[in-house]
Chains A and B, each alone.
Chain A
Amino acid sequence: MMSISLQVNGETHAIDVDPATPLLFVLRNYLGLTGAKLGCGLEQCGACAVLVDGQSTLSCSRAVSEFQGKVIATVESLAHGDQMSRVQQAFVGAGAAQCGYCIPGFVVAVTGMLESDPNPDAEAIQEALSSHLCRCGSHGRIKAAIDSLVGPRDAS
């Protein structure tokens, strides 16, 4: 055990935890932030994405100790009170979820992408979502949500 200092959603937390614990388990089990999901634990599906210094980052494998001193934001922090973020509104507007299990990961990935590039081309969009899987077939609705944010992009 070791005390880890973590800055999450604007607050600093001191957490006594095995420093090898992946960030995801600390967020979910120590901070009660269950928006990021455990899907594979192998960095293969995207369900666990959170923003680290503004960048969408998979949290299921890398040790929490690597994230000290970084600014972490989870899907829970994106809405302000009742006001959902632009990206969240776009997902709701497009009806982009069936079971919804993969959706927080997608919302985080799109948020991170737009933060670094407000005007992504089709390739950048595919790149941003390349590590995200959805089994329910919500792909088209997620694309529609992104189109409503950046305008349709032709895949080349």
Chain B
Amino acid sequence: MSNPSLINSPALDNWIKLDADGTVHVCSGKVDIGQRISTALGVLVGEELEIDPARIVVDPPDTSYPDEGMTSGSNSMMHSGNAVRAAAATARRHLLTRAAAKLGSGVDALVMDDGLISIRDTNQSVTYREVLDNATFGIAVDPDVTLKSPADYRWIGKDSKPRNLRDMVTGAMIYLHDMVLPEMRHARCVRPPNRLARLVSLSAEKVARLEAEGITLIRDGSFLAVVGDDEYLVIRAAERLARAATWDGATINAADLYGQLTSNPRESRPVVDGTPQDAPVPPLHEPPANAALTHAARYDKPYIMHGSIGPSVAAAKADGVGGLEIWTHSQGIQPLKTSISEALGITPDNLLIQHVPGAGCYGHNGADDAAFDAALIALALPGRPVLLKWTRDDEHAWEPYASAMSMELRASLDTDGAVIDWSHECYSDTHLGRPRPMLGGEGASRLLAALHLENPAPPFRPNPSMSSHAGLHRNIDPYYTFPAVRAIKNLVRDLPLRTSALRCLGGYANIFALESMMDELARHTDADPVAFRLRHLDDPRARNVIEAAADGIGWSKDRDDGVGRGIAFSRYCNCKTYTAIAIELTVNDVAEIEICKAVCAADAGEVVDTAGLSMQLEGGVLQAISWTLYEEVLFDQDGINSRDWETYPILTFAQAPPVDVIILDRPGAPHLGAGEASSEPVAAAIANALFDAAGIRARRLPMTPYNLRQAAMYGDG
């Protein structure tokens, strides 16, 4: 088994520690971003070491912990989970072997329980600490170690108590937003009107007045911030500073976004089995001679945002002699460290980055940019720490969005109604704008404020990612068994907004297109959409989730008047969790969609934390319902117009439908990443249900009343 986490950090002592009173600590480089990874890691270690998982301490990471890169792409359980599990199983084997020698007994006669190893039916025992002679393990993790068998599980797959839940409901949980450091001051930034605008001048008189009131102004090029002791006075000062600034009037190209997507310069790569190829793009040939039906359609998705409920925040302190400490809720503190040290020209040894929990972020939101903002401010004012908060306006207008995308599909069926030819091209900006490790000088380009400095970093110019399912081509490759597939990714240049990773990356839009197309084909041939999918699937686990979702929504039962049903499927990255979503909805006479019910059937391999998994799946469905029905970043040439929750509405409590989660557990099978899987098929399931209810084919997101009316007027059904 090759696990990147173990290759980077092979020593068992990097993963598991026994402290003086025997408490077991797990050290993982993964940060807990509300997906309860720490709960799951505690369960895995507790299971192997026979200790109640609630008593396993999962330490929050800083940059001295195992380098696991990014907490993203649903990799936490696949990498960290499997690494921690292997570490714990190695520890178990090591403890039992040494205890056998110490107690003069065979390993088979030993029982392990709650910190104690004893010879069965005797009172001879040693503690785990004694077995180690109070030292560390001093061995490497064996990636191929035998794991405890599912038949012996005590905790895996049971509902475990989420960590921190109690603190969350009592208000005791400390987020980075709540942190108080000695002598701490507050800061806010003042941003340009848009990405390209630059500062021309500041009114000296207004600035002098602010300074006379005890506010400190930071300026480097077009990067502006205010610092002071009282948070509210700092907020007011930022508003006043914004009015004191004159910008150069540069504009962004806001005209015809979907036209830009397919006509701007681009770099194109064919994608084979999920992996982009360094090869010429094959032309779209004529449909095969035996095609009985050929159908083509284009699908569009706007820019959408992460929209964390807690705006990004960071704290930083410079010691004045070269050292810099940063507190962040970034998902990747090691890569952030590389980028910031490159951007500031500080050696990594002088930079310590600590992770403190923030609000849910769902990908690369403003967290990393805020960390860099705080670093710039702290360096300008060494000695006292600063806590920089982005405002709601900052978060909405400056977080790196999920790119707008267009997908052009064409499929041909034979006389028997089977797919014989398939083409899918997607057009998008990058989804990979995160700070990355080992950049070699370009780290700064990925940090927002670096573009605004007096000596700005060059604009970030992504290269097409060539990794499997990595970015805009995630899930472009159908999981269905089709005899001929042409899949093309187009990385589009010169688009108006800054973009990066949001849950599912390109997969959300690609599956919207793919699974809508499957529905269109089924309807064109009067095939049942469930049966049509099943006939093109060989993998029984894929078939099982589709059948389970169909059952859950009552697919074969009669529906009430006006109610539409739709289904969609994906296997995340074609190698992770299987998910099928079934939706029941109605449309009212002002073209608003009301979702009555959603069913999510998922197979994520062996389930460690059932409650946690089901909550993540449910959360992913609800967030994607929100994207699909309501969300679109609005902008014009002067800048972003979606600047708060009224101009960028998201799903409300009243609009949230019940979600039935059906988990198909596979004890003993590898853990498949599940953090993002359930969002992918949601848009198509809704589009397909909408067609079922109203005969309208929605090919442009979001499915607002306006877009539905357009589709009803100009669509071809």
Question: Which residues from chain A sit less than 8 Å from chain B, CB to CB?
Answer: 17-18, 20-22, 25, 28-29, 32-42, 44-45, 47, 74-76, 78-79, 84, 88, 91-92, 95-104, 107, 126, 129-130, 132-143, 155
Contacts and interface: CB of A to CB of B under 8 A. Distances in A.
6 contacts: A44-B644, A44-B645, A100-B164, A102-B309, A134-B653, A137-B619
Contacts of B233: 18
B653 A99 contact: no
Contacts of B618: 137, 140-141
Q: Name, among A78, A96, A135, the residue most crowded by chain B CB atoms within 10 Å (CB to CB).
A: A135
Q: Which 4 A-B pairs have the closest CB atoms?
A: A35-B171, A137-B622, A137-B619, A100-B168
A39 B167 CA distance: 18
B34 A137 contact: no
A84 B615 contact: no
Given A95-B611, A135-B309, A137-B623, 12 more contacts: A41-B391, A75-B169, A97-B168, A99-B310, A99-B357, A99-B359, A107-B169, A129-B654, A130-B653, A135-B362, A135-B623, A143-B653
Contact of B659 (A28, A47, A100, A140): A140
Interface of B: 33-36, 162, 164-175, 177-178, 180, 230-233, 235, 307-311, 357-360, 362, 389, 391-392, 611, 615-616, 618-623, 644-646, 650-654, 656, 658-659
B232 A25 contact: yes
A43 to B, nearest CB: 10
A125 B286 CA distance: 58
Contact of A92 (B166, B309, B654, B658): B166
Contacts of A104: 168-169, 171
Contact of A21 (B33, B232, B307, B357): B232
A79 B168 CA distance: 12
B170 A78 contact: yes
**Which one of B165, B391, B644 has the highest number of Cβ atoms from chain A below 10 Å of its Cβ?**
B165
B42 to A, nearest CB: 16
A25 B170 CA distance: 19
Given A34-B174, A126-B653, A137-B618, A98 B34 contact: yes
Contact of B169 (A17, A18, A84): A84
A64 to B, nearest CB: 9
B170 A42 contact: no
A139 B309 CA distance: 14
Contact of A101 (B175, B611, B622): B175
A143 B360 CA distance: 20
Contact of A88 (B170, B173, B231, B309): B170
A107 B168 CA distance: 10
B652 A133 contact: yes
Given A35-B171, A133-B309, A99 B231 contact: no
A136 B656 CA distance: 12
A79 B309 CA distance: 25
Contacts of A133: 309, 645, 650, 652
